[in-house]
C-alpha cells in the first residue's frame, strides 16, 4: 500500500495577510487532487497558537479524509498558549510529544516542537547570559513565556525526543520526525561580515538534537524555521525536508511567485511510502 505525504512550514498566514476561507478551500482542493493521505505542518502558521489550532481544525474538515497534523513553531508560541499547554496540549491534530503510526506501513510520525540551547552559535564566544540578553533585545522569541532558561528548555525537548525515538526503535518503527527548529548544523549559515545572524544562530536549534537524529538513524526529518529554498537532502542516514513558505511583505519578500497559494504549492514537498 502506498501512502502519500505532503509537508509545509512557515506559512505565516497572518503576516502574509492571507484570505483564510478561500485559501483553506484551495489548499484542500489541491491536496485531494494530488491524492495526499497525510499533510504535515512544521510550525509557524500564526503569531497566535489558538488561531493556528483553529485553522488546522477548519482545514481538517475541508480536506477529510486527509489527515492533518501540526506542531508549534516559535511564532505560534507567542500568544494564546502557555508553556504547559504547548508541552501537554491535545488540540486536534497537534502532534507535539506524540506520535502517529501510519496504517499498513512500518512508519511512525513523531512530533517535537523543538527549541534551542545556543550550541549552533559556534563562532560566537558568548556566555549563556549574553545570548539570553541579546535574544530578549532583538529576537521575537523574547515575547514567549517560559518558566526556565533556553538550555533547560532544550533539555526537556531532548529527553522527550530520546524517549520517543527509543520507543519507536523498540516497536520496530521507521521514524518520520517533524520538528520546527533547525535539526542539523548543515543548514546553519555562518558569516564573517554580518554579526546579527551569527548571534541569531543561537536561536536556530541544537547540536544535541542533531546528535540524537544521527544516533537513532532517523529516516526522515521535516523542519521549518529557516526560509531558504531547499531541496530535500540526505545527510548520513537521514533525508531532510524543508518546505517553508516564508514572508511576502514590504520589508521581506522571500517568495519566488506572486500569490500565497502559488508559493505554497511551489514550496510544498511530497514523498511516498510503501
Per-residue pLDDT of the chain (274 residues; tens, 9 = 90+): 799 999 999 999 999 999 999 999 999 999 999 999 999 999 999 999 999 999 999 999 999 999 999 999 999 999 999 999 999 999 999 999 999 999 999 999 999 999 999 999 988 999 999 999 999 999 999 999 999 999 999 999 999 999 999 999 999 999 999 999 999 999 999 988 768 889 999 999 999 999 999 999 999 999 999 999 999 999 999 999 999 999 998 788 999 999 999 999 999 999 999 9
pLDDT, position 194: 67
Q: Give helix 20-33 / helix 49-63 axis angle, nearest 10°.
A: 50
Q: Which 3 state secondary structure label does DSSP give 164?
A: helix
Long-range Cβ contact pairs of 165-170 (< 8 A, separation 24 or more): 165/110, 165/212, 165/216, 165/218, 166/216, 167/99, 168/99, 168/108, 168/110, 168/216, 169/216
In sequence order, the 6+-apart residues with CB closer than 8 A to the CB of 253 are 247
Measure the CA angle with vertex 60, ends 179 and 18; round to 5°.
Answer: 80
d(CA 49, CA 56): 11
Write the DSSP symbol of residue 102: P
Domain total for the chain?
A: 1
Q: What is the pLDDT of residues 113-164, one digit of tens each?
A: 999 999 999 889 999 999 999 999 999 999 999 999 999 999 999 999 999 9
CATH for 268: 3.60.21.10
pLDDT, position 173: 98
Backbone angles phi, psi at 5, to 5 degrees: -120, 135
Residue 79 belongs to domain spanning:
3-273
Radius of gyration of the chain (CA): 18
Q: Is 220 exposed, middle or buried (0-12, 13-18, 19+ CB in 10 A)?
A: buried
pTM exceeding the 0.95 threshold for the entire prediction: yes
Amino acid at each position: 500500500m502506498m501512502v502519500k505525504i505532503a509537508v509545509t512550514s512557515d506559512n505565516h498566514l497572518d503576516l502574509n495577510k492571507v484570505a483564510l476561507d478561500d485559501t483553506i478551500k484551495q489548499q484542500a482542493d489541491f491536496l485531494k487532487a494530488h491524492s495526499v493521505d497525510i499533510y504535515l505542518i512544521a510550525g509557524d502558521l500564526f503569531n497566535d497558537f489558538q488561531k493556528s489550532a483553529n485553522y488546522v481544525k477548519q482545514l481538517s474538515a475541508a480536506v477529510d479524509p486527509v489527515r492533518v497534523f501540526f506542531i508549534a513553531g516559535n511564532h505560534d508560541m507567542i500568544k494564546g498558549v502557555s508553556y504547559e499547554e504547548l508541552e501537554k496540549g491535545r488540540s486536534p491534530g497537534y502532534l507535539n510529544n506524540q506520535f502517529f503510526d501510519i496504517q499498513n506501513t512500518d512508519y511512525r510520525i513523531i512530533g517535537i516542537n523543538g527549541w534551542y540551547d545556543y550550541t549552533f552559535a559556534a563562532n560566537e564566544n558568548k556566555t549563556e547570559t549574553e545570548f539570553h540578553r541579546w535574544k530578549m533585545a532583538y529576537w521575537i522569541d523574547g515575547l514567549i513565556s517560559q518558566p526556565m532558561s533556553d538550555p533547560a528548555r532544550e533539555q526537556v525537548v531532548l529527553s522527550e525526543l530520546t524517549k520517543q525515538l527509543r520507543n519507536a526503535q523498540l516497536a520496530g518503527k521507521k521514524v518520520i520526525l517533524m520538528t520546527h527548529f533547525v535539526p542539523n548544523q548543515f543548514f546553519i549559515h555562518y558569516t564573517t561580515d554580518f554579526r546579527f545572524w551569527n548571534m541569531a544562530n543561537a536561536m536556530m536549534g541544537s547540536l544535541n538534537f542533531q546528535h540524537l537524529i544521527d544516533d537513532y538513524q532517523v529516516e526522515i526529518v521535516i523542519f521549518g524555521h529557516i526560509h531558504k529554498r531547499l531541496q530535500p537532502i540526505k545527510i548520513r542516514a537521514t533525508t531532510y525536508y524543508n518546505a517553508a513558505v516564508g514572508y511576502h511583505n514590504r520589508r521581506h519578500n522571500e517568495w519566488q511567485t506572486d500569490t500565497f497559494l502559488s508559493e505554497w504549492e511551489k514550496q510544498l514537498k511530497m514523498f511516498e511510502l510503501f
